[in-house]
Structure 1
Amino acid sequence: MNPLLCALAANPALPPELVDRLLTLALREARADPESQFADDLLHELADRADLRHDQILELASHSDTMARYLAYGGTLDAADVDPGSMPNAAVALLDERRGNLAWARFLATHPDAQIRWKLASCPGLPQDAVDLLAADPDEEVVKELALRTDSPVTARLALHPDPEVRIAAAANPATPLEAVIVLAADPELTLKWTLSEHTDLPQALYARLAAHPNAWVRAAYASNPGIGQELIRVLAADPEIEVRRALAKHPRVPLDLLAELVVGDRAGWNLLPRIAAATPAELTELAGSRHAAVRMLVAQRRDLPPHLREALAVDADASVVRAVAPHPGLSEESLRAMVARHGVQVLAAVAANPDASGPLLEYLTQHRPGVRRVLKEVAEHPHATGPALLACLADRTSRSRAAAHPALPPEAITELLSDEDRQVAEAAAGNPSLPRTVMLELMP
């Protein structure tokens, strides 16, 4: 069997009649050999298609409850298509997605398969009668999952459960009432560590006790918690461990002066920080004028900057700042080319990632010498990439499969890549929507 058929099944341009043929083939193979990995892969690729007819969806769902569950999570199978008796996994999946029939819940809460009950326990919005059944389940793994996931008031009761594992799970659940959490925090039998790190409404004294844990990773878990106050933020800013200070930099209410202290001198590759994302225009202007390039770089990561700040950062003297702002939409081609002229290889990949980069600019970047491999990876996935730019990307091993999947790659190049010695490249070509229809036919058995 042609190993490229699975990739072909994912091709969005595959004609309907070929989808039908592949579905027939996959189901026949699965019936002949229920353990066939090829059949399983082909069925899943077909299940992911957005153009399946309803009868095809039902045919796939009837293959197995596991496939029906996959389709349910994929959004293509509806409650009207599911019988909870023969498709319990699919029924639970729909309840998990809030698209199921709530009347199923009580039946599934008494299902003989504990795995079904365990998964049901994690579903939101279950009727109270089903929740009560799960809270009394003989399998404590089911009860623990309910204590951890449910948004029902039953968490207050589960916080008193005799099994400490269930109580710990209830403590970790943000839906557990605050008074119950405080009682659990004082329970000498429980080792909570980072269990409460998702709670944002705890007393500051409790946060201070939890954040004083000897394990640095536990302290880091609380350092980024939006519930901790300014006094504790200042304490954690002086923590000797870098992972704690880096976590604190991600706190949404860290003071800007303190944030600057945390990032200056730290060579971490920061993503956009919550405090920067929430900064006002006046704060952004002040930060963009910082004497520290690390601070200006944080501002440059915003993708909604006012034009005057965007343009000012685009001509910054520091390459790291320019590299951060280069992918910002709205920059002119003249500005992007000027970045390359000033900073060369230090900004090439960031310029290539700009969504407004034109086809000619992308071609220019692939021809720049010295070159940067990351440029080819960006160009290979860019919607404006041209045929010549993509052909240049094929020369790079790590970019070759990305370029093979790009619809702007010339059809003759796509066809040639079907026989590439790298299977990933060949599969990318088989899934390319610009693959000629005649070639698609040739791949079929």
Structure 2
Amino acid sequence: MRHVWSGLAGNPSLPAGAVDRLVELAEPDLSLDLAERADLTERQVEVLAERGAAVAGHLVETGYLVAERVDPERRPFAALALLRAGKGLGGWAVLLAERRELWPELASCPGLPAEVGSRLLAEGDRDVLVELAEAHPDPGVLAALAAHPAPYVRQAVGWNASTPPAVLADLLNDRPPLESCEVCTRHPAPWTHPRDCPDPDYRLPGGAACDGSHQYARHAIAQAALAHPAAPVADALRHLRDPSPLLRARLAARTDLGPAAYELLAADLVPQVLEPLAENPAIGEWLIRRLADHPHESVRRAVVANPAVPLDLLDRPRSDAALKSWTVPPPRIAAADHTETERLAAATDPEPRRLLALRRDLPPHVRDRLADDPVAKVANAVAPHPGLSARQLTAMHRRHGRAVGPGIAANPDTPTALLRTLVTGDHNAATLRAIARHPAADGPTLTACLRDRRARDRAATHPALPLDRVRALLTDPATAHHAAANPALPVTDLLRLMPPE
């Protein structure tokens, strides 16, 4: 019944006393579901906040937890959640540092006082130090962590947005040199962990190796540091001809290398390196055009993601396959100005028109032009656009039929009568799934959606679904938890689903 209780936990019609009962169960997943409610009492918030960092963090996001109402000694997880969100009060971190069991969570809080960071650095175990290395802003603490003998700690420093250039340079140049790694502490060097190791619980990933130089660990540290925008260019460029495509890929994504470096990377034979390069707006138009003609489709698809790609490259047959996989407007099309929008709306290829139609900020005349587009996929893309009238949506359906059903069903202004038409004629599963969450869908329309499994899950929570249908879904283990969340269920039905006292 636990999955049913999860549905009850999110049901806004559940009486306050029943909510209290679910809170008392102290189920971790259920506590997260309960934290989503909009009607929690102060007492319920207080209890849920001590169910762990995830629950407390959500309560902070929703505004239930505020610093003025939290006693850090009595409610440490609530205090930690507020600290992590930057909403804690001065002195809390020092107070919580007295409780060693809280150190892993405390170490991940941004903006810790220097005295707390120094204490965790001196006394914390490796897991605490990794958390500290990822979040602490103090350059002195980060410099000390970058010299730590554990490779995982050094790697975490590389991911920290506050790590200064000098520390990143030390990471890239293995200063001070690693004396050991997780591979050679387990196995005498040289040793390589087989990629087809039969033990699924073995901690080392396949391919982890050490020949005495701790190369696998150094590679992981360099990979983190090269991704950091503050890493010094001179130190980063030393890896330009590195045999590892992972490191070259990190370099290819950087925007500060210079034309010569980008041209060298563009000659790479590995798509894993060329894809981030093709997305990089700093490489210049010449290289963007060169990569747009690359034989590998994944590279051409990455060019489409480049914010600096020239618009003419998006309106040509060679780009068609690269555009088809996009379900949101690529950055260049999303940022198109008025003149460029007009140009895209008149593109000869329907794919640029389809991607433009996915924008929801189009001028009315452009929106209406795309709604009249002779190509169904363009019309379906613009169909959810706010501002389209029922007349336009109906005409679109008459012109293109089931091909535009999903888009029309996703439009919040689609009237009930048109939604009913979508399910009585020829339709597809995507249309049913969109209708199942539409606020204007009525009982007969939602009943028609039950023929598709995913639409059935969504329709089960819809308050307009007939009560007999909701009760039938409660008897099906696959849909019971969705149906239990339906706000139209009478209180007697809800209480019948509650856990026993």
Q: Normalising to structure 1: TM-score of the pair?
A: 0.86
Q: For 1:103 and 1:11, how far apart are their aligned partners in 2?
A: 46
CA contact (8 A) 1:108 1:117 kept: yes
1:1-400 mapped onto 2 (5 Å cutoff): 3-24=3-24, 26-27=25-26, 39-63=27-51, 67-72=52-57, 75=60, 76=65, 77=78, 78-79=82-83, 83-84=96-97, 85=99, 86-93=101-108, 95-96=109-110, 104-123=116-135, 126-153=137-164, 154-161=167-174, 162-163=177-178, 164-165=218-219, 166-185=221-240, 192-261=247-316, 262-264=318-320, 268-271=324-327, 272-368=329-425, 370-400=426-456
Q: For 1:305 and 1:211, how far apart are their aligned partners in 2?
A: 36
The equivalent of 1:415 in structure 2 is 471
Q: For 2:391 and 2:8, how far apart are their aligned partners in 1?
A: 41
The equivalent of 1:32 in structure 2 is none
Runs of 4+ in structure 1 off by over 4 angstroms are 100-103, 186-191
Deviations 1:328-381 (A, max 9, x none): 11111100000110111111111111222122221221212x221111100012
The equivalent of 2:206 in structure 1 is none
Residue type at the aligned position of 2:47? E
Deviations 1:137-172 (A, max 9, x none): 332101111113342213233232235332332112
Identity %: 39
1:10 shift after superposition: 2.7
CA contact (8 A) 1:301 1:325 kept: yes
Q: For 1:265 and 1:47, how far apart are their aligned partners in 2?
A: 44
Residue type at the aligned position of 1:302? R
Residue type at the aligned position of 1:118? V
Q: Normalising to structure 2: TM-score of the pair?
A: 0.77
CA contact (8 A) 1:287 1:295 kept: yes
CA contact (8 A) 1:134 1:143 kept: yes
1:186 shift after superposition: 5.9
The equivalent of 1:435 in structure 2 is 489
Q: For 2:447 and 2:257, how far apart are their aligned partners in 1?
A: 57
Q: For 1:110 and 1:48, how far apart are their aligned partners in 2?
A: 39
1:114 shift after superposition: 1.7
Deviations 1:390-420 (A, max 9, x none): 1221232221011001233244432332112
CA contact (8 A) 1:2 1:443 kept: no
Moved more, 15-24 or 153-162: 153-162
- Aligned pair count reads 423
Residue type at the aligned position of 2:413? D
1:73 shift after superposition: 5.9
Q: Structure 2 vs 1, CA of residues 238 and 351 (structure 1 numbering), >3 Å: closer, same or farther?
A: same
Q: Structure 2 vs 1, CA of residues 62 and 351 (structure 1 numbering), >3 Å: closer, same or farther?
A: closer
Structure 1, unaligned runs of 5 or more:
28-38
Residue type at the aligned position of 1:434? A
Q: Structure 2 vs 1, CA of residues 109 and 18 (structure 1 numbering), >3 Å: closer, same or farther?
A: farther
Residue type at the aligned position of 1:41? D
1:17 shift after superposition: 2.0
Moved more, 101-110 or 345-354: 101-110
Q: For 2:244 and 2:401, how far apart are their aligned partners in 1?
A: 60
Residue type at the aligned position of 2:129? R
Q: For 2:142 and 2:42, how far apart are their aligned partners in 1?
A: 33
Q: For 1:430 and 1:391, how far apart are their aligned partners in 2?
A: 17
Q: For 2:256 and 2:441, how far apart are their aligned partners in 1?
A: 49
Moved more, 1-10 or 248-257: 1-10
Residue type at the aligned position of 1:46? L
The equivalent of 1:30 in structure 2 is none
Moved more, 81-90 or 295-304: 81-90
Q: For 1:434 and 1:407, how far apart are their aligned partners in 2?
A: 5
Deviations 1:92-116 (A, max 9, x none): 45x15x6x66754333334533222
The equivalent of 1:31 in structure 2 is none
Deviations 1:191-214 (A, max 9, x none): 623122432222121122223221
CA contact (8 A) 1:387 1:408 kept: yes
C-alpha RMSD over aligned residues: 2.7
Residue type at the aligned position of 1:21? R
